[in-house]
Amino acid sequence: MDKSNSVSLEHEDANAVGGDAIDEAPDDQGEIVATAATIAVVAVGAALFEVALLPGLALGAAAALAPRVLPNLGTAMAPMFRSSVRGVYRLGQRTREMVAEAHEHVNDIVAEANAEDRSKAATAAKATAPAA
């Protein structure tokens, strides 16, 4: 056995026993790219034959990528969701305040109109009453 064969065998034994951690690490990004590339090739092929198949392919692509993308998407969108909920809550509070103010203004206008009507009625009653 020469020296090059012994080095080769040692390298194969190391890979068989423990292996490299880098080689064993999952490559999720690579899988997503490969899936997207496969879907793109199928979409181009479908477009060549029948354009009506493209919406179905888009739904299929979304269904294929959803399990891989959605868990990461949820954690990334949590801060945006929280800030959106806070903003909508503040908007609701301001709207409630504005509606309360508008209601108060309408009540004031109605009260003024009623007071004017009563004063006109009282003036008319005094004018039509016989002087004693």
Residue 58: per-residue pLDDT:
78
Decide if 65 is inside a domain: yes
pLDDT at 103 over 90: yes
Supply the mean pLDDT for the chain.
76
Decide if 94 is inside a domain: yes
Decide if 120 is inside a domain: yes
Residue 28: per-residue pLDDT:
62
**Spatial contact of 36 and 65, defined as CB atoms under 8 Å apart:** yes
For the segment 31-54, what is each residue's pLDDT rounded down to a tens digit?
Answer: 778 877 887 887 787 777 777 777
Residue spans of alpha helices (H) in the chain: 3-17, 21-24, 28-49, 54-128
Q: What is the pLDDT averaged over residues 82-109?
A: 94
pLDDT at 100 over 90: yes
Domain total of the chain: 1
Q: What is the pLDDT averaged over residues 98-118?
A: 95
Decide if 21 is inside a domain: no
> Structural domain of residue 117, as residue ranges?
28-125
Amino acid (1-letter code) at residue 113? A
